[in-house]
Amino acid sequence: MKKYSGYILIVEDDEHVVLTSRMILKQYFENIESLNSPKTLETKLKQQTYHVILLDMNFSAGVTTGNEGLFWLNRIHALSPLTQVVLQTAYGDIELAVKSIKEGAVDFLAKPWDKEKLITTMLNAYQQAKARKEHRELEGKQRAIQQYINQNHRPLIASAPAMKNVLQTIEQVASTDANVLILGENGTGKEMVALAIHNQSSRSDQPFISVDLGAIPPSLFESEMFGHEKGAFTDAREKRVGKFELASKGTLFLDEIGNLPPELQVKLLTVLQRRMISKVGSNEVIDVDVRIICATNASLGDLVRTGAFRNDLYYRINTVEIKLPPLRERKEDIPLLFNYYFDEYTKRYRKTLSFAEPLPQQLTKYGWPGNIREFQHAIERAVILCTEPELTLHNFHLQQVPYDEAALGSLNLSDVEREVIRQALKKVNGNLTKAAEELGIGRTTLYRKLEEYGIQI
């Protein structure tokens, strides 16, 4: 006989009825609890979400109206909307049954009830509770899909020779479910590449869920990624669907995976291997079908060698690797990107502007250490602050020195990068944290480049 993992609560002051109900229902449900009074019911509902509550309608001596049951029925719906309630009373009649159904009860039992009637009623109520839960989760996924369509559906603008391999790899890997690792400096558009893969895949009509792993406190990782039950921990007042479950059938983009602490790497690896999760506070196992795309600006190879990143997780997420070049290596795309963002921000801020013909080419002469993110923000700022009818280079207030030969004496990439790092350090008086922010890279990456180029602080 199949046992369901649902949570059942019996609220009944007759010990004989409670004992009989438990004996019958334990053959069908794994988790059965009981209360002999509804006085602590609200506390229970804050700690646990029940699929079905079997609720007596009268608790006070001599009272047979059923009003107590109807009162608690409404409280249950207010505190736990997905819970189904079956009402029972020894004084049942048609009028009371109809009233309870109108108030939201899923069914009504008159005591003494028949064993088979109890089983059938509770199983039906459990299935309806599961259907409610699935409907709520479907609504959540649909909202995620709509949010993705409205906010994140931006084109991947790329025609530079340096992007040729990237575009080819996207086309080759999109039709598969292979895990992809995208490497690149901060602001290079790693999420846009992940979106391009998703949009060209068979999962394109399902959610694309993006998670910045570096922004999740370790104590909340399991709750954010796997979800939690109500009452699973302090402040868990509502049940929460985790990112894995929300992205099921779609794509889960894990950004800044290099920032994940070792103890959380183990938890992530286990889920990627088993393709199953359990919410915090629940023993129920949920299958998840997701396509995993990860990204980082760190050198995972170096982190693996130093033991800061698990070797087995690295190979699990790195079926296909895409190295995204910085904007300074794909400057042919700058005019295209400029046109796109100029059009976007003039429309957003309702500005009637034109721009001088040489402007997009002039912008290619700058290093853009913050890459596309810095470039995008620079255009937005320039459009907002421009008071003339024409946007010019003057509106950008660029502080860094152009990386043409006149400025650097070389177009060698290492020379350019070395000089830009020196300029950033000079600008912030040697503060490494601020220099890393100026350059749009992590501190670890900056340390490695300082050592590589022999730059002294």
Tens of pLDDT, residue by residue over 34-90, are 998 888 999 888 888 899 999 988 887 666 677 888 888 989 988 888 899 998 877
Residue with tokens 């950008």: 396
Q: Are residues 380 and 407 in the same domain?
A: no
The answer to whether the beta carbons of residues 237 and 230 sit under 8 Å apart is: yes
Q: Starting at the edge strand that comes first in sequence, how are the strands of the sheet with 52-56 ordered? A: 29-35, 4-11, 52-56, 84-89, 107-110
Tens of pLDDT, residue by residue over 350-360, are 999 999 889 99
Q: Are residues 171 and 319 in the same domain?
A: yes
Tens of pLDDT, residue by residue over 216-226, are 999 899 999 99
Q: Are residues 167 and 274 in the same domain?
A: yes
Residue 380 domain-assigned? yes
CATH code of the domain in which 361 resides: 1.10.8.60
Q: Is residue 349 over pLDDT 90?
A: yes
Q: Which of 290, 325, 360 is the last residue of a domain?
A: 325
List of residues 6+ apart from 139 with CB closer than 8 A:
none
Distances from the Cα of 407 to the Cα of 342, 363, 404, 427, angstroms: 28, 15, 6, 17
The answer to whether the beta carbons of residues 126 and 50 sit under 8 Å apart is: no
Across 200-205, average pLDDT: 91
Most confident by average pLDDT, 34-43, 174-183, 430-439, 443-452:
174-183
- Token pair, residue 25, equals 């229902």
Distances from the Cα of 147 to the Cα of 143, 254, 256, 416, 452, angstroms: 6, 18, 22, 40, 43
Q: Is residue 155 over pLDDT 90?
A: no
Residue 139 domain-assigned? no
Residue 360 domain-assigned? yes
- Residue 92 pLDDT class (50, 70, 90 cuts): low
Q: Which of 136, 116, 379, 384 lies closest to 246 in space, CA to CA?
A: 136
Share of residues in the chain with pLDDT > 90 (%):
50
**pTM of whole model > 0.85?**
no
Q: Are residues 91 and 15 in the same domain?
A: yes
Structural domain boundaries enclosing 125: 4-132
Phi, psi of 440 (to 5 degrees): 75, 30
Q: Is residue 399 over pLDDT 50?
A: yes
Residue with tokens 């999420």: 191
293 vs 82, more confident = 293
Residue 35 domain-assigned? yes
Q: Are residues 348 and 311 in the same domain?
A: no
Q: Which of 308, 325, 342 is the last residue of a domain?
A: 325
Residue 147 domain-assigned? no
Q: Which of 376, 395, 414 is the last residue of a domain?
A: 395
Measured CA to CA, the distance from residue 303 to residue 296 in angstroms comes to 12
Most confident by average pLDDT, 10-24, 150-164, 395-409:
10-24
Q: Write down the mean pLDDT value for the chain.
A: 86
pLDDT at position 296, please?
95
CATH code of the domain in which 419 resides: 1.10.10.60
Residue 270 domain-assigned? yes
pLDDT at position 22, please?
92
Measured CA to CA, the distance from residue 144 to residue 210 in angstroms comes to 11
Measured CA to CA, the distance from residue 117 to residue 184 in angstroms comes to 63
Residue 256 domain-assigned? yes
pLDDT at position 426, please?
81
Q: Are residues 315 and 333 in the same domain?
A: no
- Residue 191 pLDDT class (50, 70, 90 cuts): very high
Q: Is residue 131 over pLDDT 80?
A: yes
How many domains is the chain partitioned into structurally? 4
SS (H, E, C) 115-136: HHHHHHHHHHHHHHHHHHHHHH
Q: Are residues 320 and 358 in the same domain?
A: no
Q: Are residues 308 and 231 in the same domain?
A: yes
Q: Are residues 245 and 309 in the same domain?
A: yes
Q: Are residues 191 and 309 in the same domain?
A: yes
